[in-house]
Chain A
Amino acid sequence: NAGVTQTPKFQVLKTGQSMTLQCAQDMNHEYMSWYRQDPGMGLRLIHYSVGAGITDQGEVPNGYNVSRSTTEDFPLRLLSAAPSQTSVYFCASSFARGYEQYFGPGTRLTVT
C-alpha cells in the first residue's frame, strides 16, 4: 500500500496562475480532506469529502475548489493563486469522518 500520495512535492506559482494539487489514496477510505499548515496556525481544514460525489467546505475554503469523482482521488484546485496561499498543503484520508486520519507527505507551495 502506498497510503496517501501527493504531487507535486514543491511548486512555485506566480500571482494569478492556477494549478491543481493531486491527492490519491489506495486504502478505500471514504473520507478525504485537505489542510493547509502555516507557522503558528496549526492545521486548518480547507475542504473535505465524505464520499465520491460529495464535498463540503472547511474552515478556510476561499480561493480553493475540489471535486471527488472517484473514491481514490481528491484534487485541490487553486483558481487564481495569491501570495496568501503560500503554505504547506496536506491531504488526508480516513475510514470515516472523525476517525484516525492518514496524512500524505505534503506539497510546499510558494506564490510570488
Chain B
Amino acid sequence: QQQVKQSPQSLIVQKGGISIINCAYENTAFDYFPWYQQFPGKGPALLIAIRPDVSEKKEGRFTISFNKSAKQFSLHIMDSQPGDSATYFCAASMGYGGSQGNLIFGKGTKLSVKP
C-alpha cells in the first residue's frame, strides 16, 4: 500500500512532441505528489508538485494531471526539448507539512528527446 508505481521505464520522444509519464498509488492518505528531475551525475531536483485539492497544475511546459478517484497522476511535458532528457521520478507522501510519512518514490522514467 506504500508503493508508487511509475511507467514507462523509458521513453523516447521527438523534439517538439509531448512526453507523458504516469504514476499510480494505493494509499488514499497520500496528499502530496511531487515530480523530481535528475540529470546524469546530479542529484534529483524538484520539478513540480501538486496536492489533491486540484486536478491540474501547470508550470511552463510542465503539467501535472491528478485523478483522485483513479489514484493516478501524470507528468506531461509539452514541446519536449533535448534539454529535457533526464530521469523523472514521481513521489508521494502523507501528512504534508506535518509529522507523518517520508516521501515514497517511483522507480523512475528515463526520457530521451531526439533532435
Contact = CB atoms under 8 A, between A and B. Distances in A.
A interface bracket (residues with beta carbon within 8 Å of B):
20 to 34
Interface residues of B, number: 27
A35 B43 CA distance: 11
9 closest Cβ pairs, A-B complex:
A103-B43, A42-B107, A98-B93, A43-B105, A42-B105, A100-B46, A103-B44, A42-B108, A98-B96
Interface of B: 6, 9, 32, 34, 41-46, 49, 89, 93-103, 105-108
Interface string A81-109: 00000000010100011111111111000
Contact of A97 (B45, B46, B101, B108): B101
Main secondary structure on B side of the interface with A? loop
Nearest to A104: B43
11 contacts: A35-B105, A41-B107, A90-B43, A97-B95, A97-B100, A98-B95, A102-B46, A103-B43, A103-B45, A105-B42, A106-B41
Contacts of B34: 100
A61 interface: no
Given A100-B46, A103-B45, A106-B42, A40 B100 contact: no
